Structure 1
Amino acid sequence: MPSAPKTGRRQPMQVRSQQTIQTLFKAAAQILDKEGEAGLSTNKVAAAAGFSIGTLYQYFPSKEVLVRAMAAKGQGLVLEALEAYLAALEGRADVAQMDAKELLRQAIRILLKGFAGGKGFTPSLIRLGWASEQPQETASVVRQVSDRLAIFLERIEHPQLPPPSAAVLFVLTRSVIGTLRSASLEKSPLLGGAALEDALVQLAWALLAPPHQAEGLALGKRPIT
């Protein structure tokens, strides 16, 4: 009789492939942090990851493809974090009574860390991802953020955050993510402090809150509850 197949030694090919990709990503990020973009090459990445150059080319035929894949992975992580945050709030019975500005702040913080500050990937890698971006890919990410926020604001029925128009959401999301892109590419010192986050929260509040509440914020007054 044939012997039973052995188990526990070989992992499924899909799992092994994902582990290989993550190892390559980690090696590329480390090289980029130490040597900058000029020092990043497929040969160095393969060697640092412990793979042959042929193995790397099975997944990424060029450095540019590798960088774009890493950028796409980073963007995906941001969207996942935003989705987890918004979905958790939607599941709360008291969300309509929560501090509206704080809800906005936490969402903006997720975007700031993910698209500029280095949550999940290092700032140098995020910057390289922006520098090598494909416009249609970035536009797709911005649309996903905009659409998800629209659904969120409609579902929570918060008295201080009524559902905005399509034009308001367009301006808000493009302004926020465009600012984060510029801050990343320019290596802005604002990324190291709270001022940028505060300014983005103020922008979001001015666009999303009813006029009398936005004016109250500008005058230093507490929003009407």
Structure 2
Amino acid sequence: MQLAICSHFLKGFFMAMAKPSKTTPQPQALPSLRRQPSQARAQQTMQTLFKAAAQILDKEGEAGLTTNKVAAAAGFSIGTLYQYFPSKEVLVRAMAAKGQDMVLQALEQYLAALELRPDVAQMDPQDFLRQAMKILLQGFATGKGFSQSLIRLGWLMEQPQETASVVRQVADRLAIFFERINHPALKSPSPAQLFVLSRSVIGTLRSASLEKSPLLGSAALEDALVQVAWALLARPGQAGLALGARPIR
């Protein structure tokens, strides 16, 4: 059964070749909710349930996370919880989708700010590649806003099409960024290079999270991811530079 699930995920995860679009990444629809929150009160209810679930998960682990415990910790009846989330799985997937949206928003804000800088072509590209990696690391593995245990559970319950959509949005936004800044040390990556880069990075973070790798949060993992990006994106004559070396002008 586990092999079938993994096979199904890998098929969906590596299927689509990224085609750069000119649009900003859009928030995901929350998966399979019985009620889509539209009012401030409903949004607040969901946030309270999310917070309660995260606290239980951190204290008791996956085995201790139940809808009854979440409802009680949040101060709601189980009926109120079921108005939004028909099962624990849907609750976790909704939390994971929220976390992924936070990652996309953080990446968008960072890249958009760089695009507006008049001196971006003079900046060290390894610096902003590293910062982009930090955003992805925190969002998909080490945790920022959501804990590592929640991120891991989200990966365990993922839907391949949802993961593929997030990865494509990351690849699309990076394509727009590199085209706009036209940095002398970086080339505009091809669709194939963006496909390899985005799937390599997020696939690595997924594996590190699921395996509870001791590399999570380490400088070694961050350096390795930056090296992968640099090898794919640097113009000829630049790729051989060590991390921290100044690009050749």
Q: What TM-score, normalized to structure 1?
A: 0.92
1:221 positional shift? 5.3
Match of 1:113 among 138, 142, 149: 138
Kept in 1, the 8 Å contact 2:186–2:233? The answer is yes
1:116 positional shift? 0.3
Structure 1 equivalent of residue 35 of structure 2: none
Instruction: Go from structure 1 to structure 2 and tell me whether the alpha carbon gap of 1:95 and 1:222 turns closer, same or farther (over 3 Å shift).
Output: closer
1:103 paired with 2:128, answer yes
Structure 1 equivalent of residue 242 of structure 2: 217
Kept in 2, the 8 Å contact 1:96–1:158? The answer is yes
Of structures 1 and 2, the larger Rg is shown by 1
Instruction: Go from structure 1 to structure 2 and tell me whether the alpha carbon gap of 1:116 and 1:46 turns closer, same or farther (over 3 Å shift).
Output: same
- Unpaired segments of 5 or more residues in structure 1? 1-12
Instruction: List, as ranges, runs of 4+ consecutive aligned residues in structure 1 with deviation greater than 6 Å.
Output: none
Instruction: Go from structure 1 to structure 2 and tell me whether the alpha carbon gap of 1:30 and 1:221 turns closer, same or farther (over 3 Å shift).
Output: closer
Whole-angstrom distance in 2 between the partners of 1:43 and 1:222: 56
Residue by residue, what CA displacement relative to the aligned partner does 1:96-154 show, whole Å, maximum 9, x if unpaired? Answer: 11111001000011000110011110000000000000000000000000000000000
Higher relative contact order (CA 8 A, sep 6+): 2
Whole-angstrom distance in 2 between the partners of 1:189 and 1:37: 20
SS of 1:116's equivalent? helix
Point out the structure with the larger helix share.
1
Q: How many residues align?
A: 213
SS of 1:211's equivalent? coil
Whole-angstrom distance in 2 between the partners of 1:215 and 1:223: 10
Whole-angstrom distance in 1 between the partners of 2:115 and 2:235: 21
- Unpaired segments of 5 or more residues in structure 2? 1-37
Match of 2:227 among 202, 205, 208: 202
Kept in 1, the 8 Å contact 2:124–2:246? The answer is no
Whole-angstrom distance in 2 between the partners of 1:84 and 1:68: 24
Whole-angstrom distance in 1 between the partners of 2:245 and 2:73: 55
SS of 1:212's equivalent? coil
Q: What TM-score, normalized to structure 2?
A: 0.83
